[in-house]
Amino acid sequence: MLCLTITQSASLMFTNEICPKLCPGCKHRELSVEESINRKTCFLQTKFNAWAAQLQPIHYLMGAASLNYRTKVCLHTAYVNKKWRFGLISKKELIPIENCPVHGNLIKNCIQIFSRILPPGDVFPIRFYVQSGKQIMLVVKAKAIPEPLWLSDNIKNELQLQGVEGVWVHTNPSAGHKVFMKNGFTLLMGSAYSSDDTGMIYGPMSFTQQIPELYLKSLRDASEFLNPEKDSMVIDLYSGIGYSSTLWQKAGAKVIAVELNGEAVCCFKKNVPQIEILRGKCADRIPQLNDFIKKNNTCNRLLYVNPPRTGVEKNVINWITEEYKPSKIAYLSCSPGTLVRDIGILENNNYKIQEISPFDFFPYTHHVECLALLVRK
């Protein structure tokens, strides 16, 4: 279990002045780290009752490491009393959370700058503030926007001093119902991509896990279990920008990846140019995956999946169990509910759970993610 020494309960940071009671974000904000972990453990024990012997303790961080951890947000905005507010929606009301204790300092500092410089709502009808690390996206409910005179050289310098590398505007006439449309993206300042501390390239809409220490540990655990070698093939489904595929490629395995998000695919190609990545739904890319399998038919078959909350599509689960039949599967899930469903199907199709390792990627929330390791009987 990964822990840091705690000197005082970090939940003391969640005062009413900083963290409004109506905020729907952190369900466990009134609990200490230990109390939150205990509650999540009880939840997992109930969910994974059939695999109690395989369920491991939760990997988590404590103390200061459990605060200011968020580097990615998607916040609603509203122009109230001649001031821009940023927050979450609860009962159709915006709850401002500009000083949220779990948001990183870069996010909080940038929100203060934009609340000060953005034009009024009738001129610049922003609906969402999206930030991914050093990249910022302002989603505006309009077909076009006036020239951004508010983004002066002084403001650009101020943002750059904070660490911002890219500022975008996305014009979306349907903003409010959807965050993003296919078109309407304009880079106002800086570069289109940034890189994190590991050197991985990402964009303003890229998904990355919030606590690198824990996420990298989950990948190391998956890699040690799969043990990819030169005589192995790894199919990496829902691959993101390439964190996991980088490991399989370094081990010398033959790798192919599938990812739906266009920006993530572009970043993947920059991060792991040696690996072929297929863009689209995994179910729609089964023919190309089968071609890859035929070309590498003598290799040991391995599988890594990191699907969205809805889990692995039914057609893909059927393909895994009936056609691909990997010897080992590492499945990182953000939903214990759909993970229970999917590993139940896999167990009914000649697979056995070896271990379920939970990770507390979102401290003070009720969310917990799990890495399931399965072997073919």
Per-residue pLDDT tens for 274-284? Answer: 999 999 999 99
Helical ranges in the chain per DSSP H = 33-47, 105-117, 153-162, 212-226, 243-250, 262-271, 286-295, 314-319, 336-347
Q: Is the pLDDT of residue 302 over 60?
A: yes
| pLDDT above 80 for 12 | no
Beta pairing, strands 328-333 & 369-376: antiparallel
Q: Which candidate, 292, 251, 290, 291, places its Cα nearest to that of 272? A: 251
pLDDT tens-digit readout, 177-226: 899 999 999 999 999 999 999 999 999 998 888 899 999 999 999 999 99
Q: Is the pLDDT confidence value at 2 over 90?
A: no
Confidence at residue 206, expressed as pLDDT on a 0 to 100 scale: 86
- pTM for the whole structure: 0.93
Is the per-residue pLDDT at 231 higher than 50? yes
Between 23 and 8, whose confidence is greater? Answer: 23
Of 14-28, 124-138, 167-181, 217-231, which range is least confident? Answer: 14-28
Average pLDDT over residues 163-190: 94
76, exposed or middle or buried, with CB in 10 Å at 0-12, 13-18, 19+? buried
Rounded distance between C-alpha atoms, residue 258 and residue 287, angstroms: 12
Mean pLDDT of the chain: 93
| Pairwise pLDDT comparison (16 vs 68), residue with the higher score | 68
> pLDDT digit string (tens) for 235-282?
999 999 999 999 999 999 999 999 999 999 999 999 999 999 999 999
Give residue 11's pLDDT band: very low, low, confident or very high (50, 70, 90): low
d(CA 215, CA 295): 32
What is the rounded distance in angstroms from the CA atom of residue 210 to the CA atom of residue 69? 7
Q: Are strands 276-279 and 254-259 parallel, antiparallel or unpaired?
A: parallel
User: What's the mean pLDDT in 147-165?
Assistant: 96
Helices and strands (H and E) in the chain: how many: 9, 16
Q: Report the catalytic residues.
A: 334
The answer, yes or no, to whether residue 60 has pLDDT greater than 50, is: yes
pLDDT at position 13: 67
Query: How many CB atoms neighbour CB 284 within 10 A?
Result: 15
Domains in the chain and their CATH numbers? 1-66+210-377 (3.40.50.150), 72-202 (2.40.50.1070)
Cross-strand partners of 94: 89
Q: Distance (Å, rounded) from C-alpha 323 to C-alpha 316? A: 10
Rounded to the nearest 10°, the torsion over CA 198, 201, 204, 209 is -40
pLDDT at 306 over 50: yes
Which residues 6+ apart lie within 8 Å of 321 measured at CB?
345, 346, 349, 350, 351
